[in-house]
Chains A and B, each alone.
Chain A
Amino acid sequence: MNLRMSALLCGLVLLATACGGTATNPAPRSSSLPAKVSAPVTIEYWYPYGGTVGKAVEAAVSRFNQEQSGRITVKPTFQGTFDQQLAKVRAAAAGGGLPQVIAARESDVTQFGSSNLAVPLDPYVKDGHNGLSSQQLADIYPGVLARTKLPVYGNQTLAWPLGNTAASWFYNLNLMHQAGINDPPSTWDQVLADAKKVKAATGQPLWDLRADQAGPIFIDALWTYGVPWLSSDGKTSNFNNPSALKVLQMFRQMVDDGTMVVSASAEQDFPNGRGAMLWASSGNVVAYSNQIKGFQWGVGLVPHAKNAKRITEMFGSVDTMFKGTQDQQLASWIFMKYMAGAGNQSQFAADTGYFPSEQSSARSAAIQSASQQVPQYRAAVQTIAPYMQLLPQSAALDQVRNHIATDDVTAVLLKKMTPDDGARKLKADADQAIKQAGQ
């Protein structure tokens, strides 16, 4: 072979190597963590779910243990309600015996973070061996991913997805059709118009509003006007926004017209055919599919102000990791990643009626099968899940949402205060609570 040919061949080889290296071998992500556990490890998982959800959690853990046989064993233990579990965590934090992974609420995780008990998950999420690719991260619903890394967590990822529900709008199709309404209202203007039609045609109110949920529903309704309850700096509420007064006035007008009824048993009234529409958690879909016999019903996204961004409050819980040995923490992450992964989430969501964490799960066989049994579930996943978001978090959220707003909004609806006075009081009380919580 002559020199020219050799040089050409070398150049071609070099070129092929360079191209092949980039196309078939992407540069590896950093991996400061080991790829797998160094020895068989058992971790404890605490969860506060009974009933259907508890069984689904145990089934998921069983599937994981089978998959990881010989390497990682998860020992799940039921710990009562969320509050009972939190009491146990506080005791164990003082006396020893914390688990490695726990299913908890955002408010719990905030406490775990501030007590330096929770392990930041960012290194695990980005890890080259056991982390998530950009495609996997993009597959997670935006609201679900956002709930893992909050300002109250110090902008660290302290949680990983587990189960998601959201505020939803249930409607009685029989009562709607009786009133000449074909589609559920999507804007507040339509709600007001439909309310009068339903009342005139059926004598029923359009909306049974659950008394102890008046505060959360008000805050969510305000959000559908594009106004979050908390200011961007987290120091004050936005209840002095004109939209807050508008929502209070709208609710009060509906009460005055008899198209809204404040009821302690709203979530029982609806499945018994009273009230054409209901604002409640999507978690009710499975229960209602068993209870509702006498009429056709549907579920969809809550009404919005015209042209406002679609959004609805997300509920549910997350998994979080407590400190342990390197093997325990790695095993915990692998387990948390499994629980949140598309494969498990499809089955878990189908078993519980929760929304899956991944968008691809919505197309899975398990969810398709669940949707055939409960068609409303498919509608909920398609129309509500993409818009679910966590409320802006604050140490005062529980106090403002479940006590202050509930008391003040209920007082307006029961005509003990005018909407103007109610809005002013709500702003003052909420701001004080935020200030005290921050101290």
Chain B
Amino acid sequence: MGNPRRRLAGAARFLFLLLGSGLVAFPFVWMVLSSFKSSAEINLSPPTLLPLQWHLENFRYAWTAPHSTFGRYYLNSVVLATGGAALQTAAALLAAYAFGQMSFPGKRMLFIAFLGTMMIPAEVTLIPNFVTIRHIPFLGGNDWSGSGGHGLYDSYLGMILPSAGSAFSIFFLRQAFMSLPGDYWDAARLDGCGRLRYLWYIALPLVKPAAATMVVFAAFQYWNALLWPLVITNTEALRPVQVAILYFQSEVDSKFNLVMAAATLSMLPGLILYFLVQRQLTQALAFSGVKG
């Protein structure tokens, strides 16, 4: 008697999850299907789901239409995502290890100050970051006072640096380091291991899922960045893929089918990356609430 009830409950759960995932997946499905439509069909009301005709040339046009080809924008986004993710994760690992495993004066206040920066909206820091990047001393033709040149304006580093320090990443990784037993450090210290060696050879492998998660989050953050790269660059050949999508929108005739094609192209690398690290991601999220 319990079996049919359990089967029914299982079926209901499955149906609920199917509906939920359908709701979440539908915008992406719509985006991909719309990218094959003509500009006349995409404006039809009521809309069509499946394209009446499949226009593969939309992707060719989306690839070649922006100033640099989509390939160049992709390359720039890959540079930002990998470079930015590496820098952000490296900085966060060091800070999180210190906050999670070490004791020093003012640790608590310093950590609260770090957390406090999460409440500052990005719009507030836009201008100060711009001024800082443009006036970095000794770079981009600047003198010791940061004047005379353009600092890191219009460069990859200029796009990467302001987000290299992430309070969220530090917080997330700190939780992972705090879950490691203190005995590991005691044992390592007895064997003459220093802090950095302990971090690299012992602690980091143990928090690999969390670190991989942060790499993915950071990569997505840099991949999806639009306003900051737009503000800090002036050279088309440096700009990331999100800027390329803007080219298809216009005051008089936004070609949404091409916007969808460009968006589909820009989404693909992130999708591939997600599938590659899916296991580590799930593991990290599952264990983030578990104390050691």
Interface, chain A (partner B; CB < 8 A):
44, 49-54, 77-81, 84, 87-88, 90-92, 94-97, 165, 265, 268-269, 271-272, 274, 283-284, 286-287, 290-291, 293, 352-354
Contact of A78 among B45, B130, B227, B247 (CB under 8 A): B247
A-B contact pairs, 29 of them (CB 8 A): A44-B234, A49-B251, A50-B250, A51-B248, A51-B250, A51-B252, A51-B254, A53-B250, A53-B252, A77-B234, A78-B67, A80-B230, A81-B246, A81-B249, A84-B231, A91-B130, A91-B131, A91-B231, A94-B131, A95-B134, A97-B134, A165-B252, A265-B45, A272-B44, A283-B252, A290-B40, A293-B40, A353-B253, A354-B252
Chain A residue numbers with a CB within 8 Å of B117 are none
B126 interfacial by beta-carbon distance below 8 Å: yes
B247 touches A51 (CB 8 A): yes
B39 interfacial by beta-carbon distance below 8 Å: yes
Chain B residue numbers with a CB within 8 Å of A90 are 127
* Shortest Cβ distance from residue B152 to the other chain A in the assembled complex, whole angstroms: 11
Top 8 nearest A-B pairs (CB, nearest first) are: A51-B250, A91-B130, A95-B131, A283-B252, A287-B253, A50-B247, A95-B134, A272-B45
B134 touches A284 (CB 8 A): no
Q: Is the interface of B mostly helix, strand, loop or mixed?
A: loop
* Shortest Cβ distance from residue A403 to the other chain B in the assembled complex, whole angstroms: 20
B252 touches A88 (CB 8 A): no
Q: How many A-B residue pairs have CB under 8 A?
A: 103
- Which of B130, B248, B251 is packed against the most chain A CB atoms within 10 Å? B251
B43 interfacial by beta-carbon distance below 8 Å: yes
How far is A105 from B67 in the complex, measured between Cα atoms in Å?
Answer: 24
A97 touches B131 (CB 8 A): no
Contact of A95 among B40, B127, B236, B253 (CB under 8 A): B127
B250 touches A54 (CB 8 A): yes
B253 touches A52 (CB 8 A): yes
Chain B residue numbers with a CB within 8 Å of A91 are 126-127, 130-131, 231
B135 interfacial by beta-carbon distance below 8 Å: yes
Known: A80-B243, A80-B246, A290-B39. A88 touches B230 (CB 8 A): yes
Chain B, interface size category, equals: 20 to 34
- Which of A88, A269, A272, A284 is packed against the most chain B CB atoms within 10 Å? A88
Contact of A87 among B40, B126, B135, B254 (CB under 8 A): B126
**Chain A proximity mask over B153-167: 1 for CB below 8 Å, otherwise 0:** 100000000000000
- Which of B39, B131, B247, B253 is packed against the most chain A CB atoms within 10 Å? B253
* Shortest Cβ distance from residue B269 to the other chain A in the assembled complex, whole angstroms: 22
B153 nearest in chain A by CB position? A97
Chain A residue numbers with a CB within 8 Å of B130 are 91-92, 94-95
Chain A residue numbers with a CB within 8 Å of B45 are 265, 268-269, 272, 274
How far is A166 from B249 in the complex, measured between Cα atoms in Å?
Answer: 20
Chain A residue numbers with a CB within 8 Å of B40 are 290-291, 293
How far is A283 from B226 in the complex, measured between Cα atoms in Å?
Answer: 27
* Shortest Cβ distance from residue B126 to the other chain A in the assembled complex, whole angstroms: 6
